[in-house]
A = this chain, B = another copy of it.
Amino acid sequence: MATMNQLILGGARSGKSRHAEQIAAASGQRVVYVATAESRDGEMARRIAHHRERRPADWGCVEEPLHLAARLRELAAPDTCILVDCLTLWLSNLLFAGRAAAQADAGEAVDCPLFAGQTAALIDTLPQLPGQIILVSNEVGWGIVPMHPVSRLFADEQGRLNQHVAAVCDQVTLVAAGLPLTLKAAPARA
């Protein structure tokens, strides 16, 4: 069965998560929400609660901070729509769980097998999954180049990840002020 994968991009508080949720709700499929966030402080806990209130009660919810490709292979099924929110927190989890952030801080070239392996696995896996996958990700590279090496590493890797995921998605949408702008349109399906 043909996959119909979508990437929803946007800045902070752009309405990208809400837009993705509306697409999932309108899919008519069983929805499984994959949260990549880990709740470690008060500010993040408030953000997670804010998102949770908005979601329909009958959606499945799974937390997966690191091994996203493996988790998607487990969960993907025909007539299932998986909503991954978001790739940005996943990327952050990978960079800090592995040694990438520390290497960047020390001014070294980054060589982080956890990060490289997991992101490559996602790109390889996405086109092979049944059902529909909707991935939410942040645009983070449109400001002044950050002064901290870890922030520059993050902006670079987020940008590259968005490019690679966009290349294997059927549809890519940029959201600003809650309004979608099509970057890549899925061809009409027979």
- Seen from chain A, the residues whose Cβ lies within 8 Å of a Cβ on chain B are 7, 9, 11-15, 42-43, 46, 107, 109, 139-146, 149, 151-152, 154-160, 162-163, 165-167, 172, 174, 176-179, 181, 183-184
A9-B177, A42-B109 given; name 17 further pairs at CB < 8 Å: A9-B176, A11-B139, A12-B142, A12-B159, A13-B158, A13-B162, A13-B163, A14-B159, A14-B163, A143-B143, A143-B144, A143-B155, A162-B178, A163-B177, A166-B178, A174-B176, A174-B181
A129 to chain B, nearest CB (A): 20
A29 to chain B, nearest CB (A): 25
Cβ–Cβ < 8 Å partners of A107 in chain B: 42-43
Cβ–Cβ < 8 Å partners of A139 in chain B: 11, 142, 176-177
- Residue among B7, B141, B165, B172 making CB contact with A143, cutoff 8 Å: B141
Question: Which residue on B lies nearest to A154, using beta carbons?
Answer: B144
* Docked CA distance A174–B11 (Å): 13
- In the complex, 17 of the A-B residue pairs with CB atoms within 8 angstroms, ordered by the A residue number, are A7-B177, A11-B143, A12-B159, A13-B155, A139-B142, A140-B144, A142-B143, A143-B144, A143-B155, A144-B151, A144-B154, A162-B176, A162-B178, A165-B177, A172-B177, A172-B179, A179-B184
